[in-house]
Amino acid sequence: MPPSVDPNPHLSPTHTFVIKKMDGVSFYADTKMFISRKAVEQVIEAIKADGIKKVLCLLGGGSTKTTGLWDRITKSLKENGIEYCELWGVQPNPLISKVREGVAMCKDPKNKIEAVLAIGGGSVIDSCKAITAGAKFEGDIWDVYLHKAAPPTDQLPFYTILTLSATASEYNQGAVISSPEEGKKLPYFFLNRPVATAIDPTVQFTLPWRQVMCGAVDATSHLLEQYFSTPNETDSTRQINLALQRSIIKSMEKIKKNEKDYEARANFCWAVSLALNGIAGLGLGQDWNVHYIEHAISAVDDKIAHGEGLAVVSHAYYKFLWKRGVAKEMFEEWAQVVYGTSNVEEALKKFDELLDFWGAPKKLTDLGLKEADIPKIVKIEQEQNEMGINSPLLRLTADLTTEILKATL
Ligand code: NZQ
Ligand code: ZN
């Protein structure tokens, strides 16, 4: 999903797409990033240094307890004299109902919550952003997602302890929330990034390979969607973007051989965070169709992981773009720099092989969906596009989205 490239909180995602050169852009990423075996303790010390006396700890479904991370966090909170209360149960493809629960806790003066500490992956951190904004918002924060309310102008401070590198939510303002009752999964860009983020690569040693694969696919997709854009003269950003793609491929090879390789994990985590903090897309036109289609897929079935849906769509989408002659020069540069070939078809084949090497799904049926589900996905994608999210490279009509999805069968 598109990062904000401007500190203006009222900037809608659509506005970022018209920027195609280094003129009229601005960049800031004011999160303190700790990457260390001691990062968890460092971020808690940062909370104390900020004078915060009580936090709401926001967590997912329990992996934090089984890995022993929760004991480590509570020990450090106690040692630093920081009080805490807990909200567990944020699920993957996080729900607005859980966000509302968190908002109510923060708004209750009895709880005396001064900040939120998100402990988890993108789903927990995204929920944290909506909760911290909702806590300072008069109405229902979901109305902001539906563009039925003015953007929030204030937010509680929040900190993150990352347990899964994938979304870069630990370094950006984005927050994707779902409402299954309405069949919607929508992004929003809040006012603030985390004050500080802890990345302890050892915390990710125990991740199931499926989650590691999803993280690599997600970050690669963020890079590809920023890279394949309308013609631009922004060579510096394009080269940063391509270098990050290469680095993710290299680290993944090492992690596959040894899941406890600290340096490979740390490099991977950093590349993933940089893939969507704005730096890899600054001054590029950007085309987020793969994410828009994927968000519709996981709105149809919230058991589908974001990275898995992306793998299926991107596998078809870039071949589709190349056949239509879109972004030809960029395809050639990408083929050369990332895959060392002047033949774009060959690079696309290598990209397919990379997905296989990572163990990513490539067909809609691998996700448990079938041809009869395509109209549902297309309907959601088109409704979400009507709400103002679309890409400049290819305007997705219902027919085009159907064609792309049929190519994934
Ligand atoms: O809930 P628990 O038990 O903690 O388990 C989680 C969850 O089931 C597990 N997990 C996390 N860390 C672990 C671990 N298991 C073992 N060891 C660990 N160290 O992983 C599962 C998936 O977690 P989740 O947070 O859902 O994954 P991810 O980080 O991929 O986040 C996906 C969500 O982020 C949104 C996606 O759409 C999706 O809803 N996105 C957010 C973006 C942003 N804020 O900028 C951009 C992305 O493009 C994306 O759209
Ligand atoms: Zn993503």
- Does any ligand 1 atom lie closer than 6 A to the CB of residue 336? no
Q: How many CB atoms lie within 10 A of CB 345?
A: 12
For atom 16 of ligand 1, the residue with the nearest CA is 207
Q: Please tell me if the CB atom of residue 62 comes closer than 6 angstroms to any atom of ligand 1.
A: yes
CB 251 within 8 A of CB 267: yes
CA distance 209 to 213: 6
Residue 232 has a pLDDT of 81
The ligand 1 atom at the shortest distance from the C-alpha of residue 124 is 25
- Residues forming beta bridges with residue 196, ordered by sequence position: 32, 159
Cα dihedral 40→9→305→288 (10° resolution): -130
The DSSP line for 215-228 is HHHHHHHHHHHHHS
Run of H or E residues at 84: strand 83-87
Ligand positioned closest to the Cα atom of 122 = 1
CA distances from 296 to 49, 187, 308, 339, 376 (A): 42, 12, 13, 30, 9
Beta strands in 128-225 (DSSP E): 158-162, 174-179, 184-189, 196-199
Type of residue found at 357: F
What pLDDT, in 10s, does the model give residues 338-379? 999 999 999 999 999 999 999 999 999 999 999 999 999 999
pLDDT of 104: 98
Please state the atom number of ligand 1 nearest to the C-alpha of residue 69: 19
353/339 Cα distance (integer angstroms): 11
Q: 236 CA distance to ligand 1 centroid (A)? A: 30
Q: Is 3 in the pocket of ligand 1 (CB under 6 A)?
A: no
First to last CA, the chain: 24
Question: What is the atom index within ligand 1 of the atom nearest the CA of 93?
Answer: 39
Q: Would you call 178 helix, strand, or coil by DSSP?
A: strand
How far is ligand 1, taken at its centre, from the CA of residue 396, in Å? 27
Helices (H), 67-110: 69-79, 96-107
ipTM: 0.99
pLDDT of 321: 94
Residues of the chain where predicted confidence (pLDDT) is lower than 70: 1-20, 388-390
Give me the numbers of helices (H) and strands (E) for the chain, helices first please: 16, 8
The Cα–Cα gap between 179 and 216 comes to 26
Closest-approaching ligand to the CA atom of 166: 1
Q: Is 202 in the pocket of ligand 1 (CB under 6 A)?
A: no
- How much of the chain is helix, strand and coil, in % rounded to 5? 50, 10, 35
At 225-241, the pLDDT tens digits run 999 988 788 999 999 99
